Amino acid sequence: MFEADGVEITVLVENWVDMLLPDLDLGDGTHCLRNGLIDHFDQRRLPPQAENGISLLVTARSGRHSSTVLFDVGLTGTVLTHNMRALGVDATQIEQVVISHGHPDHYGGIYEFLESVERTVPVATHRDAFLPRYAVMADGRSSMYYNQAFTMDDIERRGGRLVLGAGRREGGALDLGCGMFTTGFIPREVPFEGPVEPSAPHAPGLYQMRSDGSYGLDEVIDEQGLIIDVKDKGLVVLTGCAHAGVLNTIDRARKICGDRPVHAVLGGFHLGFPTTPAANVDLTLQGMRERGVSHIMPMHCSGLSTHAAFRAEVPDRYVQPAVGTVLRFGR
């Protein structure tokens, strides 16, 4: 399999903006550059914005070749396109979009992005991402068919060309070039990870209409991550929300690329939800240690308890996220 000589990841959309974070040299050829105080105070520049979503611009390089992918597109096209302007990102250089799963904070900016490019762009996601989804709250409220704005027809009408995975197959990983791959379906093998069946019918939780017409727990079968295999470093693993589990995602990455070191993991860890057992934070931290993850950036839905625990327990591995952060791994 091909490896990337290096990869650059820019945080376009994230829950946090922090203009006080310094640039960091993380050692071993890894650098973390920030959109800092001087940038925010420069009246010639737009300050970036935060929202409850995630979008990562990924460029992997191998020799004189490169591959540029947009992994998720945030909650709104307004913030995504604003931040692309603020950070000087040229949308025309993006070759493909990967949507991690069909929740609005991951697909919400897709239409405005496609309209801004004015050419055909492949959009990789899972067929189940478009099935109707529902959310039931503890106070009895429900969000009915909250992904109804996400349709195959609307994507293709705006110039997207769908690349669809399906089912629970072990395969389904796409080769995006220069050592970059999607995970395809992520098996749920770590005991404490993945969606948990509700305690009773219509108990608080996420639900979905299935392809066979039944209604039940939203298992987020459509979820996929992104992997970059970096020469002399190891795997850089990206997660959208890690509904399937961040450790399961790491294990899936290793199954695709071989038993490589895990150089970095960043993205949503799905540990910040009120219904998530508190013990899962420590179990996830323990699993990261066991897998030898060198750099860890919890984002988006990871939760304050996760940031506090990782910052306290593995300060040499923890990296605080913020919009405008640029991570460079390898050459």
Q: What does each of the 331 residues of the chain score in pLDDT, given as a tens digit?
A: 789 999 999 999 999 999 999 999 998 889 999 998 888 898 999 999 999 999 999 999 999 999 999 999 999 999 999 999 999 999 999 999 999 999 999 999 999 999 999 899 999 999 999 999 999 988 889 998 999 999 999 999 999 999 998 777 766 899 999 999 999 999 999 999 988 777 777 788 899 998 899 999 999 999 999 999 999 999 999 999 999 999 999 999 999 999 899 999 999 999 998 888 999 999 999 999 999 999 999 999 999 999 999 999 999 999 999 999 999 999 8
- Cβ burial of 24 (10 Å; 0-12, 13-18, 19+) is middle
* Backbone phi, psi, residue 290, to 5°: -60, -35
* Backbone phi, psi, residue 44, to 5°: -80, -10
- Dihedral sign, Cα of residue 281, residue 220, residue 256, residue 229: negative
Return the DSSP state at 254: H
* Helix H or strand E encompassing 308: helix 304-313
- Cβ burial of 268 (10 Å; 0-12, 13-18, 19+) is buried
Interior angle at CA 103, CA 99 and CA 108, nearest 5: 70
- Is 157 strand, coil or helix? helix
pTM (predicted TM-score): 0.96
- 81 Cβ contact partners less than 8 Å away, ≥ 6 residues apart: 109, 112, 113, 116
Considering all CA atoms of the chain, what is the largest pairwise distance in Å, rounded to the nearest integer? 56
**265: closest CA among 214, 202, 317, 187?**
317
Beta strands in the chain (DSSP E): 6-13, 24-27, 30-33, 55-62, 65-71, 96-98, 121-126, 133-136, 142-143, 160-165, 175-177, 180-182, 205-209, 215-217, 226-230, 234-239, 262-268, 295-299, 326-330
**117: closest CA among 181, 73, 150, 149?**
73
